[in-house]
Structure 1
């Protein structure tokens, strides 16, 4: 989750029901890639976008006390050391134990929902027929890890009474564009499945010094939807979440979609409007596909905390931070208003005292946005800043960050529109600088004994 706050850290489903075979057949049709062989799983999905959304999911909704567990670059899991274990059996054992140890600790802290990153880039942490296995597991893209991490996570979390939301980064293909990365991606060509990088080279662009999919290409959006459909159809996930990666650019590394705009952008006043339309289409398509496959699976997005600043839009917040609408081309407020999301989890990674983007100002703004809707509001909190020295945000250092964290949790738990808190991210629960805050969380949420 890297759009504004964590960019510097380089973060950057289920026993098959009777109808699922039919549904998977509809959702995961084969189509030839534009460059002829090899073939790729792409989704000419049923025309779900023209049908009304079913009613909201019937899950019980106790307040969410959640945590993001990142797998990109092995930030939270699996352990880096496991990849060089003495044998596959040792690696599997180490990875499984690391995960169950984490779940035990999360359970003791009162965490009830894990947002598990199953698609960190163009690879998968489940047995996919569309994506190659993630190299985070074995060190090599496409190498079978010898077990199914998503199924293992689901089994172990559910055993502990915890929910799991499958967290997808929709468009990222790689975390860098190094020659070695290009070689690794090209080496997947003989695999089944191979990387989208070699199957659909014409979909690939460079942005923020990473390989990404071009969101303006309809077939690329269909492909992403097919990936979500595969997980929802096959695994007992409790939810699906997209992070803030839609259009992501850096000043020196922008996404060149001029040709795509010329091809698909007719009728739009600006490229920005067209880009927002593309993101809207993806959200609509994924939302309706999930509800057709399994209405009880929740769909949510965790966007950058600022929708728009009031200086750009009278409906915006009294902030001056980078805005999702203008920089990620994501009209997150509209998705709430249209009922496309079961929940929204804005990343409010600032303290009360940060004038450019005050925590309380943004939390209240989002509370007002969801108030007339059925969309639930969970707030993403910056655990990664707790205890860290900062000239612009010194509050995170005072008494181990506990007073600031307490203020944020007090607000979240006293506002009836805010129905949960999600901590970013899991491994910061294990760092020396956060231990006062972790003890506080255990007293507040968990079992101090």
Structure 2
């Protein structure tokens, strides 16, 4: 936690004085200063070498493996033999990479840790059940290594995408049974090895971010991948404190044990996420300085109505909802890049794409953190009362406006599409053809 930070709860108690500060901030020509995370001096990172500075803009795509959303194909689990299953999964991935190459995609953000399981040969996590149907079953090949070989062969970069805290995608009895059955395996699931670390939040089993040993354990998982694979980067998604109204994380005892120096639990939670990000960042740089580390948070840090330094939006804020002070991570030099998910069109008044893109561009100014923008490919061609622009001209008009903006703002270094399988859907084909004409060779 930054020493001069205050909890938002305390700030609200300032009453009339707070209103005066906000008024003064809006009347000066100086950049707005946040009341909760005052701008620190930027921790300068070593300047990247010339090859990194001159790299082409990122044209990326997220490839999700959780629940087999993008890969591997569900049908491969019904293969008549392990050899055929492997062949089907590998050919499917090769086909996807071939298509991505024709579209001009140069970076794949490959989900290697969708939950408490792994898509690489880990000595810490059991094999993912998305590969075989059973947690811990050896798939007969190393998916991460296969992805790296195939992508690099095509001149594409691969960032290993981790969901840091999720242990399972649900809490159903069948899931509990599968997790318990790993006890006799090596390695077993964290669910059975460290039950004291496990909480329920958002209708899922998750790790408690407030436990120091949990942060160490997550860091060791990232270190295992960085040390053993020729990855180009590491990315965390936006699932830090991922709660839902009816399923909040009960960390009262953890706060009582570790949060005694914080006036509010919210501040302590934000410090926990910052500690994880900082710890992982330092570890990666110690192991392989050229491996990039980034985070893809939800698009709104804070709304201007709550903080003078926030964006002119009315969206769910990462600072207040998932306890991720993403702005400060950039200011403190903890990230090589940040990829906010700006999943709204220009016309969405509550969270305008251009407003947020320019806000983030301002955040990274005078830092060494690069800015990539996450774009909502999944909304293209889908009817929406609140966002009808995604239907106009097959979504091409909105997509073009967003890409034009990204390329016109010097601080924006690339675009990432969410997510790969939507490139194959009927409703997106006009937009896919547009991307091919714009980005493809």
Q: Which whole-Å deviations, capped at 9, do the CAs of 1:173-212 have from their partners, x for residues lacking one?
A: 0000000000000000011100000000000000000000
Post-superposition CA distance 1:360-413 (Å, at most 9, x none): 000000000001111000000000000000000000000100000000000001
Q: Could you tell me how far 1:55 is from its partner in structure 2?
A: 2.0
> What's the counterpart of residue 108 of structure 2?
114
Counterpart in the other structure of 1:273: 267
Corresponding residue number in structure 1 for 2:196: 202
Please give the alpha-carbon distance, in whole angstroms, between the structure 2 residues aligned to 1:338 and 1:147: 40
Contact 2:126 2:136 in 1 (8 A): yes
Asked if residue 215 in structure 1 is aligned to residue 206 in structure 2, the reply is: no
Q: Report the Cα distance in structure 2 between the residues aligned to 1:283 and 1:375, rounded to whole angstroms.
A: 14
How do residues 228-307 of structure 1 correspond to structure 2 at under 5 angstroms? 228-307=222-301
| Equivalent-residue separation in structure 2 for 1:188 and 1:270 (angstroms) | 38
* Distance (whole Å) between structure 2 residues aligned to residue 239 and residue 62 of structure 1: 15
Alignment match of 1:55 (pick from 46, 57, 61): 46
Which residue of the other structure, out of 344, 350, 365, is the alignment partner of 1:350? 344
Contact kept, 8 Å, 2:394 with 2:431, in 1: the verdict is yes
Name the CA distance, whole Å, in 1 between partners of 2:169 and 2:437: 38
Which residue is equivalent to 1:140? 134
Is the Cα–Cα contact under 8 Å of residues 53 and 288 in structure 1 kept in the other structure?
no
Match of 2:318 among 324, 327, 341: 324
How many angstroms apart in 2 are the aligned matches of 1:123 and 1:197? Answer: 11
Check whether the contact 1:209–1:253 (CA below 8 A) recurs between aligned residues: yes
Determine the C-alpha separation between the residues in 1 that align with 2:414 and 2:45: 24
How many angstroms apart in 2 are the aligned matches of 1:402 and 1:371?
A: 30
Instruction: Give the Cα–Cα distance (whole angstroms) in 1 for the partners of residues 122 and 423 of structure 2.
Output: 31
Residue 438 of structure 1: which of 414, 418, 432 is its match? 432
Cα 1:282–1:190, aligned 2, differ >3 Å: closer, same or farther? same
Q: Structure 2: state its 5+ residue gaps.
A: 1-42
Q: Give the Å deviation of 1:267.
A: 1.2
How is 1:398-409 mapped onto 2 (pairs within 5 angstroms)?
398-409=392-403
Checking the alignment, whether the CA contact within 8 Å between 2:44 and 2:367 is kept in structure 1 is: no
How far apart, in 1, do the equivalents of 2:306 and 2:382 lie? 32
* C-alpha distance after superposition, 1:226-269 (max 9, x if no partner): 00000000000000000000001000000000000000001101
Deviations 1:287-308 (A, max 9, x none): 0000000000000000000000
- Separation of aligned partners in 1, 2:45 and 2:411: 23
- For 2:44 and 2:78, locate their aligned partners in 1 and report how far apart those are by CA, in whole Å: 47
Of residues 139, 152, 155, the one that matches 2:149 is 155
Mapped contact 2:299–2:340 kept (Cα < 8 A)? yes
1:390 aligns with 2:345: no
Q: 1:283 to 1:53 in 2, by over 3 A?
A: farther
Counterpart in the other structure of 2:166:
172
Change (3 A) 1:369 1:209: same
TM-score (norm 2): 0.89
Which residue does the alignment assign to 2:92?
A: 98
The answer on whether the counterparts of 2:157 and 2:232 sit within 8 Å (CA) in structure 1 is yes
1:212 alignment partner, SS class: strand
- 1:188 matched to 2:201? The reply is no
Aligned position for 1:429: 423
Could you report, residue by residue, the CA deviation over 1:33-62 in whole angstroms, capped at 9, with x for unpaired residues? xxxxxxxxxxxxxxxxxxx98625545321
Provide structure 1 residue ranges, at least 5 long, that are not aligned to the other structure: 1-51
Please give the alpha-carbon distance, in whole angstroms, between the structure 2 residues aligned to 1:53 and 1:207.
36
Contact 1:305 / 1:348 at 8 angstroms: preserved in 2? yes
Q: Which TM-score applies when normalising by structure 1?
A: 0.87
Match in the other structure for 1:339: 333
CA RMSD in angstroms comes to: 0.9
Q: Does residue 1:366 correspond to 2:360, yes or no?
A: yes
Deviation of 1:326 after TM superposition, in Å, equals 0.3
Q: Please identify the structure whose Cα radius of gyration is greater.
A: 2
SS of the residue aligned with 1:340? coil
Preserved contact between residue 298 and residue 342 of structure 1 (Cα < 8 Å): yes
